[in-house]
Amino acid sequence: MKMQLAEIAKALNSDLNMGEDTVITSVEFDSRKSEPDSLFIPLEGSRDGHDFVSSAIANGASATLWKKGHPGKPENFPVIEVEDPLIALQQLAQYYLSKVNPTVVGITGSNGKTTTKDMVAAVLAKRFNVHKTQANFNNEIGVPITILEMKPSTEILVLEMGMDRSGQLHHLSNLVRPDVCVITMIGEAHIEFFGSRDKIADAKMEITDFLKEDGKFIYNGDEPLLRERAQKLEQDKSTFGFSEDNTIYATTFRSYMHHASFEVNNSKQKFSIPMIGKHNVSNALAAISVGRHFGESDDEIASALSSFTPTANRMQWKQGDVGEAIMDDVYNSNPTAVRAVTTSFGQIMVKSHGRRIAVLGDMLELGKKSAELHAGLADAFDPAIINELYLYGPDMKNLYEALSDKYDAGNLHYYPQESMDRMIDDLKNDIKPEDIVMLKGSHGMHLEKVLERLL
């Protein structure tokens, strides 16, 4: 972005005390990241952002928003007074979005939205100037920040859009007015707050609430909950998946240690992605669907997919300190994701005498069904495929008990949450160079600390 303060104040229909000609090139809500030509946004959460305005000024911020009536307003410094800084941030983003006027692709789903976002952006970048969500800036703060970070030359804006409550995607859809909506899948993520997959599907469909009349809805056709709800939409629709009644479906699929290859119906093109697993092939099918919608050739799409860079901590391979291969997938976890990753991990060939060792941390935000959903993973594990299991956290004890008759005691290990150091020590003493290791858990379980010690 590049706007004078006077334009920003006018866009917000707010008063500016001074510095009308000051040029703003970025917005920040973390005072530590403030820099010259930045506008500070004092958000109110567990801490009041107004308390950090002086820090933002010290770090070089050129102006700040300020909630009307809040005490302590800075003197002799450019201030735009607003009713609510968060709403003002969203209004400014909406104004800038209309000014740049890119085509907007909104992506959501219980799993795979970040990877799909990265794939879609890589595919579209073959022909267009593309800006995408960085990291997982996908909520009511992250989406407007992403919009304001795009260059004026942006032709397509690829937005990851997340939600943890009903109404959130409705609000974000209203903010960005997407031209294309993508739903990757429906799982159990945030089921604590929704109670059922049906209600999760309803909440995910909110992304289409403000889909433009001539827009496109692309969704996982292997999910009956989405097919049922998509029938109510009048916009153009297409599906992807593995069943043959989808618009695009995979006809072949092979997963290797560092990549997966596949083919699709109605194309002679061979596709490859630098990730493993059927679920990531599904994400790639979504990206192919989007690329074709924008007129790209399968050759262009295949080239982009083969070399795209996934966001960190998404099934990345790293080498441990004794030579073992470690699959790092510690960013987030839920039952659907664990099953998908476990299936992929089980398909990887190991060296002679090597073992597949899985380290699983608790899946958080599953609410009253948590014990049941953890124990329910038992049918995803076969001692002949996943040879050894390290289970960590209070809820994983349910899976440990469910697997106690299936696994020998020496190959099934459980550790309470306060015993991470002991688990790491046991792992380091157990792992051999020929082994491959999988790390999977919710971010709040901090399995990245296990990874650091194993590297």
All residues at 6 or more sequence positions from 101 whose CB lies less than 8 Å from its CB, including other chains: none
Predicted structure pTM score: 0.83
State yes or no: pLDDT of 169 exceeds 80: yes
Q: Is 114 assigned a ligand-binding role in the annotation?
A: yes
Q: Please tell me the predicted confidence (pLDDT) of residue 171.
A: 98
- The whole-angstrom separation of Cα 205 and Cα 121 is 22
Q: Is 406 assigned a ligand-binding role in the annotation?
A: no
State yes or no: pLDDT of 188 exceeds 80: no
All residues at 6 or more sequence positions from 99 whose CB lies less than 8 Å from its CB, including other chains: none
State yes or no: pLDDT of 422 exceeds 70: yes
Q: Is 112 assigned a ligand-binding role in the annotation?
A: yes
Going along the chain from its start, the domains and CATH numbers come out as 3-82 (3.40.1390.10), 102-307 (3.40.1190.10), 316-454 (3.90.190.20)
> Residue 315's pLDDT band (boundaries 50, 70, 90)?
low
* pLDDT tens-digit map of 264-296: 999 999 999 998 888 899 999 999 999 999 999
State yes or no: pLDDT of 416 exceeds 60: yes
Q: Please tell me the predicted confidence (pLDDT) of residue 313.
A: 53
Q: Please tell me the predicted confidence (pLDDT) of residue 314.
A: 60
Nearest to 440 by CA among 319, 298, 302, 342: 342
Q: Is 113 assigned a ligand-binding role in the annotation?
A: yes
Q: Please tell me the predicted confidence (pLDDT) of residue 191.
A: 63
> Residue 190's pLDDT band (boundaries 50, 70, 90)?
low
Q: Which helix (H) or strand (E) holds 241?
A: strand 236-241
- The whole-angstrom separation of Cα 136 and Cα 113 is 9
- The whole-angstrom separation of Cα 219 and Cα 199 is 17
Q: Is 111 assigned a ligand-binding role in the annotation?
A: yes
Residue 448's alpha-carbon distances to 359, 362, 442, 453, in angstroms, are 11, 13, 10, 9
- Residue showing tokens 């948590």: 370
State yes or no: pLDDT of 349 exceeds 80: no
Within 30-77, residue ranges assigned H as helices are 53-58
Phi and psi at residue 69, in whole multiples of 5°? 85, -10
HSE-up of residue 144 (Cα within 13 Å, Cβ side) = 22
| Residue range 68-78: mean pLDDT, rounded | 95
* pLDDT tens-digit map of 334-346: 898 899 889 989 9
State yes or no: pLDDT of 364 exceeds 70: yes
Q: Please tell me the predicted confidence (pLDDT) of residue 344.
A: 86
Residues 252, 263 contacting (CB under 8 angstroms)? yes
Nearest to 147 by CA among 209, 89, 85: 89
